[in-house]
Protein backbone atom coordinates (compact mmCIF):
# COMPACT_ATOMS: atom_id res chain seq x y z
CA UNK A 1 0.00 0.00 0.00
CA UNK A 2 1.34 3.42 -0.94
CA UNK A 3 2.11 5.77 1.91
CA UNK A 4 0.06 8.95 2.08
CA UNK A 5 2.54 11.80 1.78
CA UNK A 6 0.04 14.64 1.51
CA UNK A 7 0.05 17.10 4.41
CA UNK A 8 -2.67 16.70 7.01
CA UNK A 9 -5.43 19.29 6.89
CA UNK A 10 -6.17 20.79 10.27
CA UNK A 11 -9.22 22.84 11.10
CA UNK A 12 -7.32 25.24 13.33
CA UNK A 13 -5.72 28.53 12.45
CA UNK A 14 -1.92 28.55 12.70
CA UNK A 15 -1.97 32.01 14.29
CA UNK A 16 -4.48 31.53 17.14
CA UNK A 17 -4.55 27.69 17.29
CA UNK A 18 -8.36 27.81 17.49
CA UNK A 19 -10.95 26.50 15.06
CA UNK A 20 -11.19 28.86 12.09
CA UNK A 21 -13.60 31.77 12.33
CA UNK A 22 -14.26 33.66 9.11
CA UNK A 23 -11.27 31.99 7.41
CA UNK A 24 -9.66 33.85 4.53
CA UNK A 25 -7.29 32.27 2.03
CA UNK A 26 -4.11 33.89 0.79
CA UNK A 27 -2.87 33.35 -2.79
CA UNK A 28 -0.19 31.03 -1.35
CA UNK A 29 -3.19 28.83 -0.31
CA UNK A 30 -2.66 29.23 3.44
CA UNK A 31 -5.80 30.15 5.38
CA UNK A 32 -6.21 32.08 8.62
CA UNK A 33 -8.98 33.59 10.71
CA UNK A 34 -9.96 37.04 9.49
CA UNK A 35 -9.33 38.51 12.95
CA UNK A 36 -5.87 36.92 13.02
CA UNK A 37 -4.94 38.38 9.63
CA UNK A 38 -6.11 41.80 10.80
CA UNK A 39 -3.80 41.53 13.83
CA UNK A 40 -0.90 40.33 11.66
CA UNK A 41 -1.50 43.26 9.29
CA UNK A 42 -1.57 45.73 12.20
CA UNK A 43 1.79 44.41 13.43
CA UNK A 44 3.26 44.73 9.94
CA UNK A 45 2.06 48.32 9.56
CA UNK A 46 -1.25 49.63 8.32
CA UNK A 47 0.21 51.83 5.56
CA UNK A 48 1.49 48.84 3.61
CA UNK A 49 -0.98 47.32 1.12
CA UNK A 50 0.71 43.94 1.28
CA UNK A 51 0.81 41.23 3.91
CA UNK A 52 3.37 38.55 4.69
CA UNK A 53 1.89 35.09 5.09
CA UNK A 54 2.38 34.01 8.72
CA UNK A 55 3.25 30.48 7.53
CA UNK A 56 5.51 30.84 4.49
CA UNK A 57 6.45 34.57 4.53
CA UNK A 58 5.15 35.03 0.98
CA UNK A 59 4.35 38.68 0.36
CA UNK A 60 0.71 39.06 -0.69
CA UNK A 61 -0.73 42.17 -2.31
CA UNK A 62 -4.08 42.76 -0.66
CA UNK A 63 -7.02 43.50 -2.97
CA UNK A 64 -7.78 47.22 -2.54
CA UNK A 65 -5.20 47.12 0.26
CA UNK A 66 -7.70 45.43 2.61
CA UNK A 67 -7.90 42.06 4.34
CA UNK A 68 -11.61 41.92 3.44
CA UNK A 69 -10.69 41.56 -0.24
CA UNK A 70 -9.16 38.11 0.28
CA UNK A 71 -11.03 34.96 -0.74
CA UNK A 72 -13.29 33.49 1.92
CA UNK A 73 -12.49 29.83 2.57
CA UNK A 74 -16.00 28.39 3.00
CA UNK A 75 -14.78 24.81 3.08
CA UNK A 76 -12.55 25.49 6.10
CA UNK A 77 -15.27 27.56 7.73
CA UNK A 78 -17.83 24.78 7.57
CA UNK A 79 -15.41 21.97 8.36
CA UNK A 80 -14.09 23.92 11.37
CA UNK A 81 -17.60 24.56 12.62
CA UNK A 82 -18.46 20.88 12.19
CA UNK A 83 -15.28 19.81 14.00
CA UNK A 84 -16.04 22.21 16.85
CA UNK A 85 -19.61 20.92 17.13
CA UNK A 86 -18.55 17.28 16.97
CA UNK A 87 -16.00 17.96 19.73
CA UNK A 88 -18.82 19.39 21.86
CA UNK A 89 -21.02 16.37 21.15
CA UNK A 90 -18.26 13.95 22.17
CA UNK A 91 -17.51 15.91 25.34
CA UNK A 92 -21.27 16.33 26.00
CA UNK A 93 -21.00 20.12 26.11
CA UNK A 94 -24.10 22.20 25.52
CA UNK A 95 -24.67 23.07 21.88
CA UNK A 96 -26.65 26.06 20.77
CA UNK A 97 -28.31 25.72 17.40
CA UNK A 98 -27.27 29.08 16.01
CA UNK A 99 -28.19 27.99 12.50
CA UNK A 100 -31.84 27.60 13.51
CA UNK A 101 -32.17 30.80 15.50
CA UNK A 102 -30.68 33.35 13.13
CA UNK A 103 -32.66 35.38 10.63
CA UNK A 104 -30.05 34.85 7.92
CA UNK A 105 -30.73 31.25 7.01
CA UNK A 106 -27.78 30.90 4.63
CA UNK A 107 -25.85 28.87 7.23
CA UNK A 108 -28.43 26.06 7.14
CA UNK A 109 -27.61 24.89 3.64
CA UNK A 110 -25.49 22.53 1.61
CA UNK A 111 -22.61 24.48 0.10
CA UNK A 112 -20.59 23.61 -2.98
CA UNK A 113 -17.01 24.79 -3.20
CA UNK A 114 -13.97 24.09 -5.31
CA UNK A 115 -11.01 22.33 -3.73
CA UNK A 116 -9.47 25.78 -3.30
CA UNK A 117 -12.37 26.80 -1.04
CA UNK A 118 -13.90 29.11 -3.66
CA UNK A 119 -17.70 29.25 -3.26
CA UNK A 120 -19.65 27.70 -6.16
CA UNK A 121 -23.24 27.47 -4.93
CA UNK A 122 -25.65 26.12 -2.36
CA UNK A 123 -29.13 24.72 -1.82
CA UNK A 124 -31.51 24.52 1.11
CA UNK A 125 -32.25 26.93 3.92
CA UNK A 126 -33.19 26.98 7.61
CA UNK A 127 -36.31 25.11 8.66
CA UNK A 128 -37.95 21.75 9.30
CA UNK A 129 -39.56 20.99 5.93
CA UNK A 130 -38.28 19.04 2.97
CA UNK A 131 -35.16 20.71 1.59
CA UNK A 132 -34.75 22.74 4.78
CA UNK A 133 -32.10 22.19 7.43
CA UNK A 134 -31.68 22.61 11.14
CA UNK A 135 -28.14 21.86 12.23
CA UNK A 136 -26.87 19.72 9.33
CA UNK A 137 -23.76 18.02 10.68
CA UNK A 138 -22.87 15.10 8.40
CA UNK A 139 -22.91 14.52 4.69
CA UNK A 140 -22.17 11.80 2.17
CA UNK A 141 -22.82 10.87 -1.43
CA UNK A 142 -23.93 7.60 -2.92
CA UNK A 143 -22.85 5.88 -6.12
CA UNK A 144 -25.74 7.49 -8.01
CA UNK A 145 -24.63 11.08 -7.38
CA UNK A 146 -27.19 11.71 -4.65
CA UNK A 147 -26.27 13.85 -1.65
CA UNK A 148 -27.27 12.69 1.83
CA UNK A 149 -27.33 15.23 4.67
CA UNK A 150 -27.63 14.20 8.34
CA UNK A 151 -29.45 16.72 10.54
CA UNK A 152 -28.79 16.71 14.26
CA UNK A 153 -31.78 18.79 15.37
CA UNK A 154 -34.36 17.43 12.93
CA UNK A 155 -33.42 13.79 13.67
CA UNK A 156 -33.27 12.82 10.03
CA UNK A 157 -31.25 12.34 6.87
CA UNK A 158 -32.41 14.05 3.71
CA UNK A 159 -31.54 12.76 0.26
CA UNK A 160 -31.09 15.13 -2.69
CA UNK A 161 -30.19 14.79 -6.33
CA UNK A 162 -26.86 16.27 -7.37
CA UNK A 163 -28.59 19.51 -8.41
CA UNK A 164 -30.20 19.92 -4.96
CA UNK A 165 -33.64 18.55 -5.86
CA UNK A 166 -35.23 16.92 -2.81
CA UNK A 167 -35.70 13.11 -3.08
CA UNK A 168 -36.70 11.75 0.33
CA UNK A 169 -36.40 11.90 4.11
CA UNK A 170 -35.09 9.09 6.30
CA UNK A 171 -36.48 9.76 9.77
CA UNK A 172 -34.21 8.73 12.67
CA UNK A 173 -34.97 7.78 16.26
CA UNK A 174 -32.47 10.31 17.61
CA UNK A 175 -29.94 12.97 16.65
CA UNK A 176 -28.38 12.07 13.29
CA UNK A 177 -24.71 13.04 13.44
CA UNK A 178 -23.32 11.43 10.31
CA UNK A 179 -24.25 9.36 7.29
CA UNK A 180 -22.35 7.05 4.95
CA UNK A 181 -23.24 4.82 2.02
CA UNK A 182 -21.40 1.52 1.54
CA UNK A 183 -20.44 -0.18 -1.74
CA UNK A 184 -23.73 -2.08 -1.78
CA UNK A 185 -25.75 1.14 -1.49
CA UNK A 186 -26.76 0.57 2.13
CA UNK A 187 -27.14 3.77 4.13
CA UNK A 188 -25.51 3.88 7.57
CA UNK A 189 -26.54 6.64 9.98
CA UNK A 190 -24.86 7.48 13.27
CA UNK A 191 -27.43 8.31 15.96
CA UNK A 192 -25.79 10.23 18.80
CA UNK A 193 -28.60 10.10 21.36
CA UNK A 194 -29.11 6.34 20.91
CA UNK A 195 -25.37 5.53 20.83
CA UNK A 196 -25.67 3.31 17.77
CA UNK A 197 -25.35 3.19 13.98
Predicted confidence at residue 170, as pLDDT, reads: 95
Q: How far apart are alpha carbons 22 and 10 in whole angstroms?
A: 15
CA separation for the pair 13, 18 (Å, rounded): 6
- The 10s digit of each residue's pLDDT in 93-135 is 554 544 333 333 345 777 776 666 667 778 888 888 999 988 8
Domains within the chain, CATH numbers bracketed: 8-95 (3.30.40.10), 101-191 (2.40.10.500)
Global confidence as pTM: 0.48
CA distances from 129 to 25, 110, 162, 165 (A): 34, 15, 19, 13
Residue range 54-74: mean pLDDT, rounded? 87
Q: Decide if 103 contacts 143 (C-beta within 8 A).
A: no
Phi/psi of residue 82, each to 5°? -60, -45
d(CA 105, CA 132): 10
Residue 117: C-alpha distances to residues 44, 129, 154, 156, 158 (Å): 26, 29, 28, 27, 24
Report residue 174's pLDDT band, with 50, 70 and 90 as the boundaries.
confident
Q: Is the pLDDT of residue 89 over 80?
A: no
More confident residue, 129 or 9: 129
Amino acid sequence: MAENTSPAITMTCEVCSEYYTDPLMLPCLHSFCKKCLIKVKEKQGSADTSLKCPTCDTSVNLPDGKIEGLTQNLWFEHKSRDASIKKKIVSKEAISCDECSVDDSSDAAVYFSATTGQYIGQFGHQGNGNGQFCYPIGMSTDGKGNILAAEYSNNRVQVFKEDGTFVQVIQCDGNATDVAVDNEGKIHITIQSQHHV
